[in-house]
Amino acid sequence: MKTKQLIFLALIFATLQVRAQIGGENTYEFLNLPNSARMAALGGNQIAINDSTDLNVAYNNPSLLHAEMDNKLLLNYINYFDDIQSGYASYAKNYGQAGVFALGMHYINYGKFVYADEFGERGGTFKAAEYALNILWSKSFNRLRVGATLKPILSSFEAYQSFGVAIDLGVSYASPNRLSNVAIVFRNIGSQVTTYYDGAERESIPFDIQLGFSKRLEHAPLRLSATLQHLQKWELAQPKENDNSFESTIQEDSFGKQFMRHLLLGIELLPTENLTLRAGYNYQRRQELIFNDKASTVGFSWGFGFKINRFHFNYGSARYHLAASSNHISVAINLSENFH
């Protein structure tokens, strides 16, 4: 029963993926999950937000790691469904001409499972979890920034373990007034080093090409952001088969709907320097995870952030389906500032 339970676990987790229709095609799919409250609130992923005060943006695009993030520490916690929990911790340090470096740890714990043999006899419990160490670097060349993330990965499902390595490469460019930013990211370049069991073929990991844009309005407290993901694969949806009394027809998504499946939209309202309100829309998530015709707010997300002295607090909520939403909490601390 070990194998059957692990397959069941994988199927459950596949339903939670932001990219549900291509979730399950690769191993280490946890790398695709929103990592912070801010990104969860902005549709799941934004790679062009040029915010030197938030270390979280560097996780999605290493070129956004700024010198101003020096000596900042962040802690993220994500409560998904049915005891699935995830988190990320990171610390950044500026080394001058050598660039800015950050170290982070990303994990997901799928909870505790009951072990049973082929006869249904129970024999204790086992756990399943995955981990990725993040080693980030970036360097600035005037308004152009480049960055990279090295990610050793460990995946452990009961007695089955796999080790892999991935690299993210990012480039971003800021306008002269720093209000606009464009970016491109090549995410998860790499492969498994060891498979889950001897003799198994190496599985692919979730490689992704992403293009992003953000704009802070000059005369209004708004920041707009958009990211196109999965640019290496145009068709993200399977054609639908429609049956009636006379014939069966195949319906494919139009160009516009296919484009929308790649697009993530986010908006931030900044009424004061210390308060931010956020909202996002993920068309792909909405189309894949709606239940029959009851779409409700599936695919929409929201959140807020505020600053108190050296502390930054963020909360994000993303609606995956009618049953529940995910909850994301982020706390960042500037260790260079004094308490006051």
* pLDDT for residue 335: 93
Least confident span in 16-25, 32-41, 105-114, 120-129: 16-25
Q: At residue 11, does pLDDT exceed 90? A: no
Report the share of the chain in percent with pLDDT over 90. 68
Q: Distance (Å, rounded) from C-alpha 301 to C-alpha 278?
A: 8
Which domains are delineated in the chain?
A: 2-334 (2.40.160)
Is the pTM above the cut of 0.75? Answer: yes
Least confident span in 89-93, 167-171, 233-237, 308-312: 233-237
In the predicted model, what is the mean pLDDT of residues 305-315? 95
Q: Provide the b/e sequence for 205-242 (b: ≥16 CB within 10 Å).
A: bbbbebbbbbbbeeeeeebebbbbbbeeeeebeeeeee
pLDDT digits (tens, 9 = 90+) for 183-207: 999 999 999 999 999 999 999 999 9
Banded pLDDT at 16 (limits 50, 70, 90): very low
Pull the structure tokens for residue 249.
């027809």
Banded pLDDT at 7 (limits 50, 70, 90): very low
* pLDDT for residue 12: 41
Q: Distance (Å, rounded) from C-alpha 187 to C-alpha 322?
A: 30
pLDDT digits (tens, 9 = 90+) for 276-291: 999 999 999 888 877 7
3-class secondary-structure state, position 287: helix
* Cα diameter, the chain: 75
Q: Distance (Å, rounded) from C-alpha 180 to C-alpha 233?
A: 27
3-class secondary-structure state, position 29: helix
Q: At residue 147, does pLDDT exceed 60? A: yes
Report the share of the chain in percent with pLDDT over 70. 86
In the predicted model, what is the mean pLDDT of residues 92-120? 92
Q: Alpha helix locations (H) across the chain?
A: 2-14, 37-41, 57-60, 255-262, 283-289
In the predicted model, what is the mean pLDDT of residues 282-301? 82
